[in-house]
Amino acid sequence: MGLLSDLNGWQLVLVTLAFTHVTIAAVTIFLHRAQAHRALELGAIPSHVFRFWLWLTTGMITREWVAIHRKHHAKCETEEDPHSPQTRGIHTVLWLGAWLYRQEAMNQETMEKYGKGTPDDWLERHVYAKHRWLGIGIMLAIDIVLFGAAGLLIWLVQMIWIPFWAAGVINGLGHFWGYRNWNTTDASTNISPIGILIGGEELHNNHHAFASSARLSSRWYEFDIGWFYIRLLEMLGMAKVRKVAPRICIKPDKPVVDFDTVAAVLGNRLQVLSNFAQQVIKPVTKAELRHQSVLAESQVLQTVYQFQQRLHQLWERTTISQEARLEAVQEWISAAEKTGIAALEQFAQRLRGYSVAT
């Protein structure tokens, strides 16, 4: 009999979900956003609580997890990516994600190249890294003492939770199925706009677009519970956000293209290009296909394509002066406003009002 063995079935389910949710929060806040991407600084207390809890519930070593994740970003969707479903197959990553993780963890080159800056104190060297299975054993003992025979089932769920949801679902479905806010060079997707079950990691395309952002949501209808927890920690003085994804504000009454416009446009490439695709290419293509039997015959689509290419070129002029950048943006907007293509003209007018949100 355990100390809490009189709990009914639904109460045990809620306890299990609470335990696994703490583990998910530890992964997304401590391992992912704080350690791997340095998007925030965590105080000593939450850092160690998360590290200790992960030792109990996963046995994962911080350096290994961080190194593998950083390599995933550096080599995304290539043969060197530790867990890309694009190269290894969705079923392999979804069901054998934990095995792929262990295989890459044995690659010392990966550890040395991508694992820098992670905890290397006495506890890490002599307890967490040296006795990873001890923590898991202690967690088993705690579960059995608290819940009796049901504790074994709770422990089993805890043990498979991260291997399935993190190593399988996020690394697998997060690069295979879902919707995309940003036209990133990889295949990342947002699995769901409501990021609760996996701590906000459901918003994976947003993360790949702005990897160093502590906030993973980017649309008004998206919810990132990990960001909610980070804000609570920040209010308690236990965390400090270092960086979030930039957000553009539009001033519709802005009369001229100025240096603020240039900073907003050139500093937010993915937003601008994604907005162009949604606000220009998509509606124009849809309208033209109603009237054109052959796509190549559409002069309107050719014009839109040319302006898209010219838009891309704005970011290629890295050596020119700020004045030349301003002139280039002014020229693009002015020319787009004279095309007679309604969607393109409206986009150019919005672009004129772009400003850096403060």
Of 183-192, 220-229, 251-260, 286-295, which gets the smallest average pLDDT? 286-295
pLDDT band for 357, please (50, 70, 90 cuts).
Answer: confident
pTM: 0.82
Q: Are residues 273 and 330 in the same domain?
A: yes
> Which of 200-204, 261-265, 300-304 shows the highest mean pLDDT?
200-204
Range of the domain at 345: 249-356
Instruction: Give me the DSSP letters along 88-114.
Output: H-HHHHHHHHHHHHHHHHT-HHHHHHH
Rounded Cα distance between 315 and 317, Å, is 6
Using DSSP's 3-state secondary structure scheme, residue 154 falls into helix
Our count of domains for the chain comes to 2
Domain boundary residue, one of 197, 225, 241:
241
CA atoms in the 13 A half-sphere facing the CB of 78:
8
Q: Are residues 47 and 112 in the same domain?
A: yes
Which among 254, 248, 249, 256 has a CA at the least distance from the CA of 334? 256
Q: Are residues 143 and 191 in the same domain?
A: yes
**Is residue 4 assigned to a domain?**
no
* Mean per-residue pLDDT over the chain, rounded: 90
| Contact (CB, 8 A) for 314 and 329 | yes
**Is residue 265 assigned to a domain?**
yes
Q: What is the pLDDT of residues 273-307, one digit of tens each?
A: 888 888 888 888 887 776 655 455 678 888 888 88
pLDDT number for residue 35? 98
Q: What is the pLDDT of residues 135-160, one digit of tens each?
A: 999 999 999 999 999 999 999 999 99
Rounded Cα distance between 271 and 181, Å, is 9
**Is residue 1 assigned to a domain?**
no
Q: What is the pLDDT of residues 91-106, one digit of tens each?
A: 999 999 999 999 999 9
pLDDT number for residue 66? 98
Rounded Cα distance between 139 and 151, Å, is 10
Q: Are residues 224 and 291 in the same domain?
A: no
Q: Which residues have CB under 8 Å from 247's CB, separation 6+? A: 218, 357
Q: Are residues 100 and 146 in the same domain?
A: yes
Residue with tokens 């550096």: 74
Say whether pLDDT at 358 is over 80.
Answer: no
Q: What is the dihedral of CA 211, 216, 222, 224, to 10 degrees?
A: 160
**Is residue 2 assigned to a domain?**
no
**For residues 167-195, average pLDDT:** 92
